[in-house]
Amino acid sequence: MDIYQAMRVFVRVVETGSFTAAAQALGYSTAQTSRLLSELEASLQARLLQRSTRRLALTEVGMRYLERCRMILGEIEDANAEAAGAHLIPRGHLRVQSTTGLGIQLLAPLVARYAELYPQVNVDLTLSQRQPDLLEEGHDVVITLSGSLPDSEMIGQPLGSIFSVISAAPSYLKSQGIPQTPSDLNDHRCLHLVDPLFTDSWTFHDEHGEQSIRPGNVFQVNVAEAMAQAAEAGLGVCLLPDYVAVGSYRSGALVRVLPQYRLHEKSIYALYPSRRFLDAKVKTWVEFLKLEIPKVLEGHQAIVDDPAHWA
């Protein structure tokens, strides 16, 4: 016996007052309707309706059961409507994971604006230096950096591209001199950003070919924002993602060295499980980022490419 269908039959029989009318409303035969109700009573070992040739009457047990059935069927209908509308109305918890730098510099400022547009969505932003398993860890969207579309079963939407810039404090350059070529960096304290998304070497490409510089061990750290602070203090020359360097350039705490070079160029991707029946909160979040992040990155690029911020 299908308990859900049996409950529907019971409620409809009571509401219409007859088996025939209930059967017509539900698309069953009168015999099917009568049998389902009898099976329901047998499974409950309780009589729900008193039947006569003229009328149907609820028993005391039937009255209580009718109230519970209406409540249960209402909850099921609400659940079905919510699930069916999940691709239409953005609401619920949106679980986003991002690398620390991207999350702090790009995503966090955008969350408030997204929340204004979609107030029924609660954003849970998790920052980490590693890329998680999106399905196992329960994230809806992962924002990541890659040189190309990540090899993944997930859907990947490009959001823009970033690059890294050689940076140093004016005070350091005043005392140590300004590097004019990549090879000049061998005579400087080069600070080491330890990040799985970026190679350890600083590789320069120009018309003369390729040249790589490996930063020393004077100072190393795994968070770009901490690297920027060390460089601002005059510790040495560092390589920073443009979205991290831009704040220090604005304040004048750092300037760009060897501005003709862009290193570690990568694309930003939003990864999510599937396009089919895509939840509205995921769809609106990704579309929002596709619209807003390129504008933010364009502003960053204008600053780091401005000669006013060069050494």
Give the C-alpha separation, 202 to 16, whole Å. 79
Which of 84, 114, 131 finishes a domain? 84
Residues 219 and 244 in one domain: yes
255-257 and 263-272 strand pairing: unpaired
Look at residues 184, 188, 170 and name the one whose alpha carbon lies nearest to residue 233: 170
Range of the domain at 175: 162-264+301-309
Give the C-alpha separation, 306 to 245, whole Å. 13
pLDDT of residue 51: 83
Look at residues 198, 99, 167 and name the one whose alpha carbon lies nearest to residue 139: 99
- Supply the CATH number for residue 117's domain: 3.40.190.10
Residue-wise pLDDT for 219-248, tens only, equals 999 999 999 999 999 999 999 999 999 999
pLDDT band at 181 (very low <50, low <70, confident <90, very high): very high
Give the C-alpha separation, 232 to 90, whole Å. 42
Give the C-alpha separation, 273 to 304, whole Å. 35
Residues 18 and 44 in one domain: yes
Q: How would you classify residue 113: left for phi > 0, otherwise alpha for psi between -120 and 50, otherwise beta?
A: alpha
Give the C-alpha separation, 61 to 49, whole Å. 9
Q: Contact at 8 Å (CB) between 69 and 10? A: yes
Which of 57, 84, 111 finishes a domain? 84
- Predicted TM-score (pTM) of this structure: 0.72
Which of 84, 119, 146 finishes a domain? 84
Q: Tell whether the model's pLDDT for residue 116 goes beyond 80.
A: yes
The enclosing H or E element of 267 equals: strand 263-272
Residue-wise pLDDT for 56-115, tens only, equals 889 999 999 999 998 898 888 767 766 766 567 888 899 999 988 899 999 999 999 999
At a CB cut-off of 8 Å and minimum separation 6, what does 180 contact? 258
- Supply the CATH number for residue 52's domain: 1.10.10.10
Give the C-alpha separation, 56 to 54, whole Å. 7
Look at residues 103, 105, 137 and name the one whose alpha carbon lies nearest to residue 123: 103
Residues 148 and 170 in one domain: no
Residues 246 and 283 in one domain: no
